[in-house]
Amino acid sequence: MTKRNLQTKAELALPSKNLNEDIDFFTKKIGMQLDEIFPADDPSVAVISGFGLRLRLAKGSSEPTGTIRILTDNIKQFEHLLPDQIAPNGVKVQFIENTSKPTMPKTNHDFVVRRLSDQAPWVIGRAGMHYRDLIPSRLGGSIIASHIRIPDGGPVPDMVHYHTVGFQLIFCYKGWVDLVYEDQGLPFRLTEGCCVIQPPKIRHKVLFASDNIEVIEIGVPAEHVTTIDHEMTLPNDQINRERTFDGQRFVHHKVEEAKWEPFRLKQFKSRDTSIAENTGNVAGVHVVKFTGGDSFWSAHDTDILFNFVMSGNMILEGEGKQTSNLEPGDAFVIPPHMKTKYSGCSEDLELLEVSLPGVFNTTIFR
């Protein structure tokens, strides 16, 4: 005796006032197909499928109506059904372009100072991680900067996933975390002072974290989609470290391999993470140390310039703005063409600077 194959299916139950009208709508107008209908003499239930959906329409049912969103890579194919279609049973059907790129809003420039001492709330986010918002205004939705911590180390309840982003940085501020990325080989440990960029749609997973791990995460735009990949297992078999993801290469910047060079502000030195080069100048990331010298006024012409104080102290002066005494854990954003001065710098001052785009001009005022 042959054992029959067992199947499990899911379907969406919807009401119907006029079954024939609903069948015509979903099959003839929307383009789905009729799979089942019963009873034969006076049909009251119809099962319709298409676009990866299975609908069960029941005449006289008290099920609520809803909205069906159909994502397509060819929106022109459904132009005749735009913007929305309403079925006889009240269900709304929307056809939406399945775009692979995030929408990049125009930057709403602002001078931002965010202090750790302000005691902004830590919010529990994905995989149980704690998030502190470093740019509450998000500059009009153009960027999100998060101070993330995991108080108790150990395995992280994460899944293989990817982000539909324009740019994303993970900088290890304190502790260490074990990560694994698509096409990049075996899992590795990201340690204090090191960083990675997560190119658009690269699959990855957080595996294990030390106690009191803290990272700075930058995402562009502020609102972007995280997608779980239930099919891929990491590490995967392929290794291709030169692969580009939407024009960007994966970067793992290591402190021990870094070279210190002169910085755009001469009282500092910098280690360039090579991120500008590997993102096609989408963004640049520098770790900056104070080396001494007089302070001066300067201005830049990049769209977004974000800084996080990792150690030491400084005074941030902004033209027409209140002077701010900054210490570790504080962050600030300087809008383009605004004059600022970094003064009162302690010998151990160290900053994380992120700019979008990565290469830009600085004007010094004497």
- The answer to whether residues 179 and 308 belong to one domain is no
In a domain, 248, yes or no: yes
Q: Which residues contact 307 (CB under 8 A, 6 or more apart)?
A: 331, 332, 333, 334, 351, 352, 353, 354
- The answer to whether residues 72 and 138 belong to one domain is no
Instruction: Check: CB of residue 336 under 8 Å from CB of residue 357.
Output: no
- The answer to whether residues 226 and 332 belong to one domain is no
Quote the number of domains for the chain: 3
Helix (H, G, I), strand (E, B) or coil at 140: helix
Would you state the pLDDT for residue 6?
Answer: 66
| CATH number assigned to the domain comprising residue 267 | 2.60.120.10
Domain span at residue 149 reads 112-252
Q: Is the pTM of this model over 0.85?
A: no
Sequence-ordered alpha helix ranges (H) in the chain = 19-24, 275-278
- The answer to whether residues 240 and 154 belong to one domain is yes
DSSP, residue by residue, 299-342 = EE--SEEEEEEEES-EEEEETTS--EEE-TT-EEE--TT--EEE
Mind listing the pLDDT tens digit of every residue in the chain (366 residues)? 555 566 677 889 999 999 999 999 999 999 999 999 988 888 899 999 999 999 999 998 988 888 988 888 888 889 898 889 999 999 999 888 876 678 889 999 999 999 998 877 788 776 667 889 999 999 999 999 999 998 888 998 889 999 999 999 999 999 999 999 999 999 999 999 999 999 999 999 999 999 999 999 999 999 888 889 999 999 999 999 999 999 999 999 999 999 999 999 999 999 999 999 999 999 999 999 999 999 999 999 999 999 999 999 999 999 999 999 999 999 999 999 999 999 999 999 999 999 999 999 999 997
In a domain, 349, yes or no: yes
Q: Which residues contact 77 (CB under 8 A, 6 or more apart)?
A: none
Half-sphere exposure of 33 (CA within 13 A, CB side): 4
Of the residues 206, 232, 252, the one at which a domain ends: 252
In a domain, 106, yes or no: no
Would you state the pLDDT for residue 3?
Answer: 57
How far is residue 343's CA from residue 296's CA, in Å, rounded to a whole number?
Answer: 8
Would you state the pLDDT for residue 283?
Answer: 97
Would you state the pLDDT for residue 356?
Answer: 97
- The answer to whether residues 120 and 230 belong to one domain is yes
Of the residues 74, 97, 120, the one at which a domain ends: 97
